[in-house]
Structure 1
Amino acid sequence: MVGDPRERGDGIGWVSRAVFGDERLWLRTARDATSPPAGHRSVARYAVVPSVERAKFLLPLASRRIGAASTLAYNALRPPRVRANRLAVGVLAGLGATRLARMPVLTVAAPTDVDLAELLLTADLSRVAGRPLHAAIGIRPPDPHHKPTLQLFDDRGVAWAYAKVGWNDATRAMVRAEARALHGLPRDVGDLPAAPRLLREFGWRDLAVTLVEPMPAGVRRLPRPERPEVAAMLAVARRGGPAAPARPLAGSAFLADLIARAERAGGPVGAALAALADRDGATRLEFGDWHGDWVPWNLGIHRGRLFAWDWENSGVGRPVGFDLAHQAFQSALSLRGRSVPEAAGEMTTVLDRYGGRLGLDPARRRLVADAYLVELWLRTAELAAAGGGWSGRLHPALLRVLADRLGSSRG
């Protein structure tokens, strides 16, 4: 267990390489805090929760108050089991008793003769903020699509900001897309959901960083997460304004974009897209914005108003109804463990039930469903091309579903 976590191939390994990537930094995980070598000073210590091998979270040990705050913030949004586990860790942190739980300690040290803001993102953020900031760092399994996320707290344990870090081509593009979405999002208009405000977007070394304000402390989980918030979806699509005139799929910028992306991706998706264009080219529908990852775990309620976060997959010029299709498909796939064909079937059922409120007749509902599946496969292919493997849950099953729905070749 003792050693530099950056040398590991697991979750704590890739997060440490992304957040503490400068070779001049000295890192060690051990049972207790470790003294740095000569010429270095300790600049941060974290409890590795629950262990190095199963790391989920780096809990800052700057003070008991900060440690407790980092585990208890937004705990009401989490599933009951996770909520209970984090509450227990928060109590231990507040008592200064993380050692009793045998949590290893990650020590970060820096050379004494180097400006810390050159080496540590949190130090640079502290300099800009004019106050010390401490990061609680989430850990996920290694994946080229995952991003380090830093919850930033001041010395009082008050949440100051939330940072998302893009470290490769795919995640840098996602981080920048979220910044664009939050910057241009209308506020306090009709049924539009509330969202975090963009504080800053910047590059640091080879990283892209989006800094957003913390969510309100009182945000809570949706009381009925299975029920689509159709009015809010429509408000996002129309940016809080009136409906856009319906236009045919043929000749639309949306179809042109899909064709260009399919040509870059290659393979049988081109045949599926050609079949879609041939079948539905004359169908007229409304285009607008979409959130891009509208799912219950990215939504909450605050003071009776819907609150939406994680806008990194948002876009413009998509068929109205894409967010509804996405929620239905992803909820079936991720929450209920359905297969891709089953998730596609549940998506069709949800579109049939709620699509009329979005102006979707049967022909438009069919178009939205199949165009969404094409969009989803292209997104999957683009993420794979930008730095990693395919999603085993979606590929190649999604291509088979598209071929069956559109009567195209499976390749």
Structure 2
Amino acid sequence: MTTQVTACTDPRSRSDGLGWVTRAVFGDERVALTVGGDPPAGHRPVARYAVVPSLARARFLLPLGAPRATAASLLAYNALRPPRVRAVRAALGGLSRVGALRRAFPTLTVSVPAGEEPAELLLAERLAVALGGAPLYAACGVRPPDPNHKPTLQLFAPDGRPRGYAKIGWNGATRALVTVECAALRALAEVGDVPDHPATPKLLAGLDWAGQVVAVVEPLPSRVRGVPVTDRPRIAALLAVARRGRAAAPPRPLAGSPFLGRLAAEAARAASADPSGARAVAAVAGLERRHGHTTVEFGHWHGDWVPWNLGLHGGRLVAWDWEHSGQAVPLGFDLAHDAFQRALVLQAEPAGTAAGAVDAQLDRYGDRLGLGPAQRRLVADGYLLEMWLRTWRLADGGAGWNAALHPSLLDIVEKRQTA
């Protein structure tokens, strides 16, 4: 018989980001979380975290007990972060090296019932077993509650060596994304050394845990640097991702393709679940009417090819976050996504302007992918419809609608089909 732990100091009862993260990471009700003070009677402490900068404004859970691991959780990969974030982390890293975090910030104590094995109750302990059994220290960022976000544990050895990153899929939408990434990384590990293909972190472990799906990915190279947001698209890398070392596939018509069949099936599922899905069904039919006879090469895509998912190490491109990857899509989807997300996210443009950026980028670089005018239009129209269906999949999985993309993307697709 299990005993449910309830305490006024338990942050899992909070409605903010700290509550959301602690519920995801410490979900077993037998685990006690206390801020300050002693663990409940009958429990023994197994881990402690500094809550930075405060309970009310928590941004980090930093592991205590191994100063080098604590410092590494703040300083590793700082070159990938914006200058202001980098400076804050550097200052906190200095405090952690001298063991001052416990005095400067609230301490969260994690304890388990006496006689219980921590690896049966705590994800970080279970991950230590999966990675060979050596002790691990886990750090976690704290973000506002968002059903589309995945808590991520940074895993370190006591001496500060990075051991991996663990993504936690905790609802329908995020479990699906983590499952896709696990499958993608397994497949990429079998591709071998393909010229111009970006380096990809290996999947160290994939597991189901207490209703969650967890992917443990190897650390990035310590000297990886971010790709400047002003960089031009790396066409050779996009082609390598699409073809995976194979020769170019012969172009085939959109009509009758597995891609169009998948869009139609997903639109039909959307129509059965949401009134706007009927518009998606019509949009798929319109895509076939407009482009059905256009031939295009189909291949793989990364699915979220944007500067913040790319880095450089030793002159080679590195790509991570493969959770939206897929196959049998028109060649050029990653090029379209790069333009769309740069406009939407980096420039805060509305979806209509971002769609125009897709057209402009395909017109500028599409010929290097073998895309003529008709193929470029197919890629743009197909990509925008793909993105609405992605938005629906996330909403259907519990993430809610992305207000920047719904219903505006359907409006844009419909206007383009009647232009």
TM-score w.r.t. length of structure 1? 0.95
The offset of 1:277, in angstroms, is 0.9
Q: Distance in 1 between matches of 2:264 and 2:163?
A: 43
Secondary structure in structure 1 of the residue aligned to 2:304: coil
1:61-80 deviation line (CA, Å, top 9, x unaligned): 12221110001111111111
* Aligned twin of 1:262: 267
The aligned counterpart of 1:276 is: 287
- Equivalent in the alignment of 2:18: 12
Aligned-pair CA distance for 1:225 = 4.3
* Deviation of the 1:256 alpha carbon: 0.4
Mapped contact 2:24–2:170 kept (Cα < 8 A): yes
Identity %: 59
Measured on the aligned residues, the alpha-carbon RMSD in Å equals 1.6
Q: Which residue of 2 aligns with 1:152?
A: 155
Contact 2:173-2:399 within 8 A present in 1 as well: no
Decide whether the 8 Å contact of 1:290 with 1:316 is kept in 2.
yes
Q: Are the equivalent residues in 2 in contact too, given 1:191–1:240 (CA < 8 A)?
A: no
Q: What secondary structure, in the 3-state scheme, does the structure 1 residue paired with 2:400 have?
A: coil
2:229/2:307 contact within 8 Å kept? no
Query: What is the distance in 1 between the residues matched to 2:372 and 2:52?
Result: 50
Matches of 1:161 and 1:258, distance apart in 2 = 35
Once residues 6 and 374 of structure 1 are traced to their aligned partners in structure 2, the CA distance between those partners, rounded to angstroms, is: 39
Matched residues in 2 for 1:222 and 1:16: separation? 32
Amino acid at match of 2:399: G
Within the alignment, does 1:3 sit opposite 2:14 as a pair? no
1:53 to 41, 53, 56: 56
Kept in 2: contact 1:74–1:219 (CA 8 A): yes
In structure 2, the partner of 1:67 is 70
Partner residue, 1:193: 198
What SS does structure 1 have at the residue aligned with 2:317?
A: strand
CA distance in 1, matches of 2:346, 2:100: 35
Amino acid of the residue matched to residue 101 of structure 2? T
CA contact (8 A) 1:188 1:194 kept: no
Gaps of 5+ in 1: none
After superposing on structure 2, the runs of 4+ consecutive aligned residues of structure 1 that deviate more than 6 Å are none
Q: Distance in 1 between matches of 2:389 and 2:75?
A: 38
Asked if 1:345 corresponds to 2:356, the answer is yes
Shift of 1:15: 1.3
> Which of 374, 383, 387 lines up with 2:385 in the alignment?
374
Q: Deviations over 1:332-357 (max 9, x none)?
A: 11111111111111121111111111
Q: Distance in 2 between matches of 1:94 and 1:269?
A: 55
Contact 2:50/2:107 (8 A) holds in 1: yes
What displacement does 1:2 show?
Answer: 6.8
1:218 and 1:231, CA in 2 relative to 1: closer, same or farther beyond 3 A?
Answer: same
- SS state of the match for residue 386, structure 1? helix
| Cα distance between partner residues in 2 of 1:111 and 1:301 | 46
* Equivalent residue, structure 2, for 1:242: 247
Matching residue of 1:206: 211
CA contact (8 A) 1:191 1:232 kept: yes
Structure 1 residue 279: Cα displacement: 0.6
Aligned residue pair count:
404
CA distance in 2, matches of 1:323, 1:42: 47
Q: CA deviation at 1:221?
A: 1.0
**Structure 1 residues 113, 99: CA separation in 2 closer, same or farther (over 3 Å shift)?**
closer
Match of 1:39 in 2: 42
Unaligned runs of 5+ in 2: 1-6
Q: Are residues 1:252 and 2:257 paired?
A: yes
For structure 1, which segment, 49-58 or 107-116, has the greater mean C-alpha deviation from structure 2 after superposition? Answer: 49-58
Contact 1:187-1:194 at 8 Å conserved across structures: no
- CA distance in structure 2 between the aligned counterparts of 1:139 and 1:357, rounded to whole angstroms: 42
- CA-CA distance at 1:403 after TM superposition: 1.6
Counterpart residue type for residue 113 of structure 2: P
Q: CA deviation at 1:112?
A: 1.3
Q: Distance in 2 between matches of 1:227 and 1:357?
A: 13
- State whether structure 2 residue 92 is matched by structure 1 residue 86: no
| Aligned 8 A contact 1:292 1:314 in 2 | yes
- The residue correspondences of 1:217-232 to structure 2 (distance < 5 A) are 217-223=222-228, 225-232=230-237
- Pick one of 97, 108, 118 that aligns with 1:116: 118
Using the size of structure 2 for normalisation, the TM-score is 0.93
How far 1:226 moved relative to its partner?
3.7
**Deviation of 1:188 (Å):** 2.3
